[in-house]
Amino acid sequence: MATTKPARRTDTKLAERYREYLRQMLLIRRFEEKAGEAYSLGKIGGFCHLYIGQEAVGVGCLSQLRPDDYITTTYRDHGQALARGVSARAVMAELFGKATGCSHGKGGSMHLFDAPRGLLGGHGIVGGHIPLATGIGFAIKYREQDRVSVCFFGEAAVNNGAFHEALNMAGVWKLPCIFICENNRYGMGTALDRATATWNISERAASYDMSREVVDGQDLSEVMAAMDRAVVRARRPAAPTLLEIRTYRFVGHSMSDPIHGHYRTKEEVEAHRKRDPIVIWTERLKAEGVIDDAAYEQMDTAIKAEVQDAYEYADQSPEPAAEELYTDVYAPTQAPAMGVHPSS
């Protein structure tokens, strides 16, 4: 968990990129805060899992990818979607279930998709999407491309059979997959040490003949560095990596979960909040002269406006048409509604 000593950043292109990463993290933070608000007002239904505190993981990992790489993630997917470039409007509208949402209102918070951007969901079954990521890696190798299949999941998923099967196949077939375990210490309400026999998750990579690293997830630069190494490893010739990125969520598992609940103490949460990834990165940028307070305020204000705009856009967007109930069950090449049995 070493931190690099900051030096004055003179490379303007890099400075721009670093400010961009801050913007992305701040966008995620403000967006999630707004989503929480919207949820409490009944604008968002069902489950809503917020990424607050984990921003550096999503932003850091995605910062090292190309536009033609693929991403699969869990139901805690707002952060990855925004970091990948899906507009705040499209994400908020999806949360609101509107036709203008990135999944046209049919997916919801847990199923954000943006196929042109390579964001392939947004999945609700713990561990269930990990084999998908392996399959995507398989396809990349099959086509002899040098793309990467990135898979985010929480630490509780590593106990799941699907994780084991998927990583084993990625390891035995040497697939261009990067498995990113966002270890936020709690699988919903169950602490890692209660559910997991060996707490050092990255060690499991040994079972799969896979490279591995443990990363401080609150430090964006650490994350980026580790991801960079994994990406290089994944592009030709392909080899998979398991990254255990240790992070913390500052809010509950979902909107149904209080901030600390019974399973962790308030003090613990407060202690972790002291390592806020945005604060850490901002401090570094300030130290390197990449940003100052005024610029930061300006950025934050603009982001808040962007988020507010997304909220209003989502609020005013239309619901999906009633006929949409029956569309996209089967491929449109077939006769309409073929295979969809009317219930009466």
Closest distance of CB 161 from other proteins, Å: 6
Q: How far apart are CA 55 and CA 58, in angstroms?
A: 6
Using CB under 8 A, which of the segments 96-104, 199-207, 224-232, 233-241 binds other proteins?
A: 96-104
Q: Which one among 52, 61, 93, 102 touches other proteins, defined by CB under 8 A?
A: 102
Phi/psi at 58 (5° precision): -60, -50
- DSSP 8-class letter at 155: G
Q: Residue 63 CB, nearest distance to other proteins (Å)?
A: 22
User: Pairing mode, if any, of strands 119-122 and 211-216?
Assistant: unpaired
Is residue 176 a contact partner of residue 147, using CB atoms and an 8 Å limit? yes
CA dist., res. 146 & res. 148, Å (int): 7
Q: How far is the CB of 243 from other proteins (least distance, A)?
A: 19
Site string for other proteins, 4-33 (x = CB under 8 A): ------------------------------
Determine which residue in the list 53, 58, 79, 121 makes contact with other proteins, applying CB under 8 A: 121
Binding mask 60-79 for other proteins (x = CB under 8 A): ----------x-x-------
CA 139 to mean position of chain CA atoms: 22
Q: Which residues from 311-330 bind other proteins, rule CB under 8 A? A: 327-330
Which of residues 72 and 202 has its CB atom nearest to other proteins in the complex? 72
Query: With binding defined as CB under 8 A, does residue 107 bind other proteins?
Result: yes
Site for other proteins contains 171 (CB under 8 A): no
Q: Residue 237 to residues 16, 90, 165, 175, 240: CA-CA distances in angstroms? A: 31, 36, 22, 9, 10
Residues 222-261: x/- map of binding to other proteins (CB under 8 A)?
Answer: ----------------------------------------
What is the size of the binding site for other proteins (CB under 8 A)? 55
| Position 138 contacts other proteins (CB under 8 A) | yes
Residues 6+ positions from 118 with CB-CB distance below 8 Å: 67, 68, 69, 70, 71, 84
Nearest CA among 340, 328, 333 for reference residue 115: 328
Alpha helical stretches, state H, the chain: 12-40, 55-62, 78-84, 88-95, 130-142, 161-173, 192-195, 220-234, 266-273, 277-287, 293-316
CB of residue 341 to other proteins, shortest distance in Å: 7
CB 30 within 8 A of CB 55: no
- Determine which residue in the list 28, 120, 158, 314 makes contact with other proteins, applying CB under 8 A: 120
Shortest spacing between CB 4 and other proteins, in angstroms: 36
What one-character DSSP code corresponds to residue 156? G
* Residues 268, 257: Cα–Cα separation, whole Å: 16
Pick one of 60, 101, 176, 187: the residue that binds other proteins (CB under 8 A).
Answer: 101
* Tally of CB atoms within 10 A around 200: 11
Nearer to other proteins, 14 or 340 (CB): 340
* Subset of residues 146 to 165 that bind other proteins, contact rule: CB under 8 A: 149, 161-162, 164-165
Toward other proteins, which CB reaches closer, 166 or 290?
166
Given the rule CB under 8 A, which of 59-67, 213-221, 296-304, 331-339 is the region that contacts other proteins?
331-339
Alpha helices in 129-214 (DSSP H): 130-142, 161-173, 192-195
The β-bridge relationship of strands 119-122 and 149-154 is unpaired
- Interface with other proteins by CB under 8 A: which residues? 70, 72, 101-107, 111, 113-115, 120-125, 128-140, 142-143, 149, 161-162, 164-166, 168-169, 172, 327-334, 338-341
